[in-house]
Chains A and B, each alone.
Chain A
Amino acid sequence: MTATIPSATDPRWSKLILGQLQPDFLGARVLVGRLTASYSMDPTPATMTACCLELHGFYTKLAHLPKIQAEIAKLFP
């Protein structure tokens, strides 16, 4: 079964950027690290939107991987 990825505007993406949710997949973690640093440097809604969009694109691209499917199910129950 393929997990459903929420839309890029889902507020839960921002929780990952703010450290309120944590991924397990190493690629997601290093990307979140970079995005969190970007948002810390420019904490505006526009930056958050861009960060969430990039993270959404990451999970969409890798959605076929079992680890990512499990992670999506865990992060977005």
Chain B
Amino acid sequence: MNKLFDIESASKIISSGQQILFIAGSRQALSRLPKGPWIGGTISYFTDPAGGTCDQEKVFIHALPEWIAPVPRIERLNLENVKEVYQRIPSNGFALTIIPAFSKLHTSFAVDAPSYPDFATAPLVGWISGVHLDDLGKAAPAVIDGSTGEFMESEGVIAYVTLPDGHYADLGIVNLFRQGKGPAIKFPDGGFSASKAVIDGIEVDFAAWCREQDIDVRLPLVADYGGAMINVSFQTISADHVDFYAPVFPGCAYHQADPIDDYPTEFAKHAPEGEIAFACNCILNYLYAELEGKVTAIHGPATFGEIAYQLLNQTLCYVRFQNLASGH
């Protein structure tokens, strides 16, 4: 598992009765898979063990280990029930969700999740589905419930997984970006775009400031969340506002990141130990670090957003299972 499979091999895995599978692939590839206990999302970019690749024919499979006996609960995630997502995660378990990019659910979750009841008290991991970059604006990102074969473009899909006693799901992130030495940037209003910012205490036209500074949009804004570096990636700098791939939040102080010299080498230094059950990395890391053809330490889809408790950008997130008794 944790690699790309052709459709014939993937179909055999699904039909074998393997514990739930998390599958990523192009819409045409996913549509050729048999029904079964799996959830999936559309994407065509992967960090495969053989190297980063764009592939419209194969699908990337993560599977739960066989020792997780209970059958996960697969549900749709919508604008109503997403508010209860942390509360609905089994007390000894975790949830993996896939949400279509550009959907209202994507926006709602990104902005409001930190305010949902019991935020971060249960492990929620997942990713934002996307499309081939040539199809941006032409095709809609989607998710699929493998048990019915139905694609959804406005709803998400989520698997609630109960772990056997004595185990728990440990979520982690690998974010190589650190806050640079530039000025602190605050935003009076939150959201996926900003027209005004307060920089070193002075309110500025943020789009104009970005142009004046000739900033490198490949380097995200980084906020320090209790020691965790949380990115907000630049999308476009327009005449009068700046669009992001994740929301900025009022009250957070952001600094633009310093550049990373060699992503695969630096990534290898920060790769987590132990067996990784699931991982995804950001398509912006795939593109900006030119990962196509390069081998990285952790494998999964290259996504339009990552979820580890909340929406993340330009970050790898992962799940590994640990033993309550030993902590390993």
A contact residues vs B (CB 8 Å cutoff): 16, 19, 22-24, 26-34, 36-41, 57-58, 61-62, 64-67, 70
Question: When the two chains form their complex, are residues B324 and A66 in contact, meaning their CB atoms are under 8 A apart?
Answer: yes
Question: When the two chains form their complex, are residues A22 and B226 in contact, meaning their CB atoms are under 8 A apart?
Answer: yes
- The closest CB in chain B to the CB of A58 belongs to B121
24 pairs, A vs B, C-beta closer than 8 Å = A23-B226, A26-B171, A26-B228, A26-B309, A27-B120, A27-B123, A27-B309, A28-B120, A30-B310, A32-B225, A33-B114, A33-B226, A33-B230, A33-B252, A36-B252, A37-B251, A37-B252, A38-B251, A40-B253, A58-B120, A61-B121, A65-B324, A66-B326, A67-B170
Please tell me the number of chain B residues within 8 Å of chain A, measured between CB atoms: 31
B contact residues vs A (CB 8 Å cutoff): 114-115, 118-121, 123, 168, 170-173, 223-228, 230, 249-253, 308-310, 322, 324, 326-327
Which listed residue (B119, B228, B324) contacts A29, Cβ 8 A? Answer: B228
In the complex, what's the smallest C-beta–C-beta distance from A76 to chain B, in angstroms? 15
**In the complex, A22 Cα to B227 Cα: how many Å?**
6
- The closest CB in chain B to the CB of A67 belongs to B327
Which listed residue (B114, B118, B171, B227) contacts A34, Cβ 8 A? Answer: B114
Question: When the two chains form their complex, are residues B249 and A29 in contact, meaning their CB atoms are under 8 A apart?
Answer: no
- The closest CB in chain B to the CB of A42 belongs to B251
**Which interface residue of B168, B172, B228 has the most chain A CB atoms within 10 A?**
B228
**In the complex, A43 Cα to B62 Cα: how many Å?**
44
Complex interface: chain B residues within 8 A of A36 (CB):
225-226, 251-252
**In the complex, A31 Cα to B172 Cα: how many Å?**
14
Complex interface: chain A residues within 8 A of B253 (CB):
40
Complex interface: chain B residues within 8 A of A26 (CB):
171-173, 228, 308-309
Which listed residue (B168, B250, B309, B326) contacts A30, Cβ 8 A? Answer: B309
Interface of A is mostly: helix
Complex interface: chain B residues within 8 A of A22 (CB):
226-227
Complex interface: chain B residues within 8 A of A66 (CB):
322, 324, 326-327
- The closest CB in chain A to the CB of B168 belongs to A65
Q: A37-B252, A41-B250, A70-B327 given as contacts; is B121 within 8 A of A30 (CB)?
A: no
Question: When the two chains form their complex, are residues B120 and A37 in contact, meaning their CB atoms are under 8 A apart?
Answer: no
Beyond the given pairs A26-B171, A41-B250, 15 more chain A to chain B contacts, judged by CB atoms under 8 angstroms and listed by A's residue number, are A26-B172, A29-B225, A30-B119, A30-B310, A31-B120, A33-B228, A34-B114, A36-B251, A36-B252, A40-B251, A40-B253, A58-B121, A62-B121, A67-B170, A70-B327
Question: When the two chains form their complex, are residues A27 and B227 in contact, meaning their CB atoms are under 8 A apart?
Answer: no
Q: A26-B309, A27-B309, A66-B324 given as contacts; is B228 within 8 A of A34 (CB)?
A: no
- The closest CB in chain B to the CB of A23 belongs to B226
- The closest CB in chain A to the CB of B230 belongs to A33
- The closest CB in chain B to the CB of A62 belongs to B121
Complex interface: chain B residues within 8 A of A64 (CB):
324
Question: When the two chains form their complex, are residues A33 and B223 in contact, meaning their CB atoms are under 8 A apart?
Answer: yes
- The closest CB in chain A to the CB of B250 belongs to A41
